[in-house]
């Protein structure tokens, strides 16, 4: 798909992943950028932060536990620059799959590791991550199963599952703003897989919450998904995303520029909205992606 006309080269990101042949699995398929060139900094472990204050706002993971992220503070020339990376991990599309997910690290902060290795684009090694090594770097844990779009007030009475992804996104960003991101001079949100979709769907919203004079851009790694019929003639991908949107109540949190024209489930496909995104957006997708084969 064609990129928006405003998507131009981001000097601080030009060399990301260049020359590397490393391909690691992120969620169900390869995220080519987020963890490339990671050798040499495997010991860079960052403690988890729980956003306990979010619980009172109903901004919780599927199981009702608080949202979480890992933050490595910036230094030197990067102290006023922020990189916020959203974890991938596919989606849950009905009560059964969301209940199962709520018992895993992708649905409960209680199940998450207390530390995360910051590698690739999150690395603190200047040799391997020359553009972002000294930025404030954040890995936002994915625990809602809707690319941070869901928001149903009611809790499923049969499973006690909460569908509050959009509130989780807002609570995490507000917590980061209070920790200094409100004074950011440069900011980049990124993500892989479902996180790559998150960085697209929330791109303009993120920009609006940053200082007016901040240099803000968005990066999606493996966040595009094709909407075609499978070999049996069934439109499996679209049906799956329709179920995600219905289960999580996502429609009101998807870009209105798309939902005003198309069914909400179709607006989970980025190709239907990237042309309307105002913030510079960078898109990286592998030519060969096993997930596309699976969903077809």
Report yes or no: 31 and 193 within 8 Å, Cβ to Cβ: yes
Phi first, then psi, for residue 90 (nearest 5°) are 60, -150
Residue 284 lies in a domain: yes
Residue 102 lies in a domain: yes
Write down the pLDDT at residue 286: 84
The pairing of beta strand 215-221 with beta strand 281-284: parallel
Low-confidence ranges of the chain (pLDDT < 70): 1-43, 289-296
Report yes or no: 119 and 16 within 8 Å, Cβ to Cβ: no
CATH code (residue 159): 3.40.50
Write down the pLDDT at residue 58: 97
Report yes or no: 36 and 120 within 8 Å, Cβ to Cβ: yes
Residue 15 lies in a domain: no
Rounded-to-integer distance, Cα 68 and Cα 141, Å? 6
Write down the pLDDT at residue 226: 87
Residue 30 lies in a domain: no
The sign of the CA dihedral 138, 143, 146, 151 is: negative
What's the number of domains the chain is made of? Answer: 1
What would the pLDDT profile of 220-267 be if each residue is shown by its tens digit? Answer: 999 998 898 888 888 999 999 999 999 999 999 998 889 999 999 999
Report yes or no: 256 and 204 within 8 Å, Cβ to Cβ: no
Q: Which of 129, 106, 127 is nearest to 119 (CA)?
A: 129
Write down the pLDDT at residue 19: 30
Residue 207 CA: distances (Å) to CA of 18, 23, 34, 51, 56:
27, 30, 21, 22, 26
Residue 19 lies in a domain: no
Residue 24 lies in a domain: no
Rounded-to-integer distance, Cα 191 and Cα 206, Å? 13
Residue 31 lies in a domain: no
Helices marked H in 165-221: 165-178, 194-201, 203-209
Write down the pLDDT at residue 9: 35
For 19, the token pair is 């020359």
Rounded-to-integer distance, Cα 109 and Cα 50, Å? 8
Neighbour count for residue 194 (Cβ, 10 Å): 27
Q: Residue 194: which domain range?
A: 46-294
Phi first, then psi, for residue 283 (nearest 5°) are -120, 125
Residue 18 lies in a domain: no
**pTM as predicted:** 0.86
Phi first, then psi, for residue 265 (nearest 5°) are -60, -35
């Amino acid at each position: 798909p064609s990129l928006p006309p405003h998507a131009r080269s981001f000097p601080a990101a030009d060399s990301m992943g260049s020359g590397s042949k490393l391909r690691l699995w992120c969620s169900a398929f390869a995220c080519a950028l987020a963890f490339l060139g990671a050798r040499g900094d495997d010991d860079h472990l960052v403690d988890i932060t729980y956003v306990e204050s979010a619980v009172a706002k109903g901004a919780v993971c599927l199981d009702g536990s608080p949202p979480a992220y890992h933050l490595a503070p910036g230094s030197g020339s990067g102290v006023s620059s922020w990189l916020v990376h959203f974890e991938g991990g596919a989606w849950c599309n009905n009560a059964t799959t969301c209940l199962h997910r709520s018992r895993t690290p992708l649905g409960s902060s209680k199940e998450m590791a207390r530390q995360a290795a910051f590698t690739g684009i999150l690395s603190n090694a200047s040799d391997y991550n020359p553009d972002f090594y000294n930025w404030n770097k954040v890995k936002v844990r994915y625990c809602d199963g809707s690319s941070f779009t869901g928001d149903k007030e009611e809790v499923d009475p049969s499973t006690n599952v909460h569908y509050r992804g959009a509130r989780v996104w807002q609570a995490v960003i507000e917590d980061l703003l209070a920790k200094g991101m409100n004074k950011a001079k440069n900011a980049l949100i990124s993500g892989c897989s479902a996180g790559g979709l998150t960085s697209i769907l929330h791109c303009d919203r993120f920009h609006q919450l940053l200082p007016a004079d901040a240099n803000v851009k968005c990066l999606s790694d493996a966040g595009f998904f094709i909407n075609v019929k499978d070999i049996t003639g069934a439109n499996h991908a679209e049906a799956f995303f329709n179920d995600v949107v219905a289960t999580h109540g996502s429609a009101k949190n998807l870009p209105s520029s798309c939902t005003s024209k198309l069914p909400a489930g179709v607006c989970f496909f980025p190709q239907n909205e990237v042309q309307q995104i105002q913030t510079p957006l960078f898109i990286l997708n592998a030519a060969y992606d096993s997930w596309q084969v699976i969903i077809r």
